Amino acid sequence: MNFAERMARLGTESAFEVLARAKGLERQGKEIIHLEIGEPDFDTPVHILVGAAVHAAWVKHDVAQCGYCQSGQIMSATAFLKSLPRGKQPTAADIDAAMAGNICRCGTYARIRAAVADAAKALA
Ligand code: FES
């Protein structure tokens, strides 16, 4: 495929498709020089997994009201859940202690507690 054809396909060819084709060529004994940054077969970083669980739980429990405190609440929840040993389910007191640095003038504390507990279950 020439350069012009390659440029025309740009955006329709996913990185995974390119990687799969490169792996196929390697299996045929061809040498492939990888220029990507980092290892393409890495596990999803833990902060991404925890952040996704927190996000899903926040939506499920409809936590936010005015939203003013929410970025801090979500950052604290994510840091707390990242710090938990894998599989440990926090108590309500654990969650309250971890989230104590955040004030919510709308009083969403019960929903925050439920969302953090739910995210912990999802991550177990
Ligand atoms: S959602 Fe309004 S201050 Fe927390």
Is residue 40 one of the residues assigned to a domain? Answer: no
Query: Of 107 and 12, which is predicted with more confidence?
Result: 107
What separation in Å is there between the alpha carbon of 119 and the centre of ligand 1? 20
**Can you give the residue range of the structural domain that contains 1?**
1-34
Residues 73 and 118 in one domain: yes
pLDDT tens digit sequence for 32-68: 876 656 556 667 788 888 999 999 999 999 999 999 9
Is residue 39 one of the residues assigned to a domain? Answer: no
Mean of the per-residue pLDDT values for the chain? 87
The pLDDT of 19-31, averaged and rounded, is 89
Is residue 64 one of the residues assigned to a domain? Answer: yes
What separation in Å is there between the alpha carbon of 35 and the centre of ligand 1? 45
Which pLDDT value is given to residue 21?
A: 85
When divided into structural domains, the chain yields a total of: 2
Residues 21 and 50 in one domain: no
Distance CA(105)–CA(65), nearest Å, equals 10
Distance CA(61)–CA(112), nearest Å, equals 8
Is residue 61 one of the residues assigned to a domain? Answer: yes
For residue 65, which atom of ligand 1 is closest to its CA? 1
Site to probe by mutation for ligand 1, drawn from 70, 71, 102, 113 as the one with most ligand atoms within 8 Å of Cβ, is: 70
Which pLDDT value is given to residue 18?
A: 78
CA angle 30, 28, 26 (to 5 degrees): 55
What separation in Å is there between the alpha carbon of 73 and the centre of ligand 1? 9
Query: Of 55 and 17, which is predicted with more confidence?
Result: 55
Residues 57 and 102 in one domain: yes
* Torsion angle (degrees, nearest 10) of CA 65, 69, 71, 72: -140
Query: Of 17 and 122, which is predicted with more confidence?
Result: 122
6: pLDDT strictly greater than 90: no
124: pLDDT strictly greater than 60: yes
Indicate yes or no: pTM above 0.85: no
Residues 84 and 105 in one domain: yes
Distance CA(90)–CA(116), nearest Å, equals 9
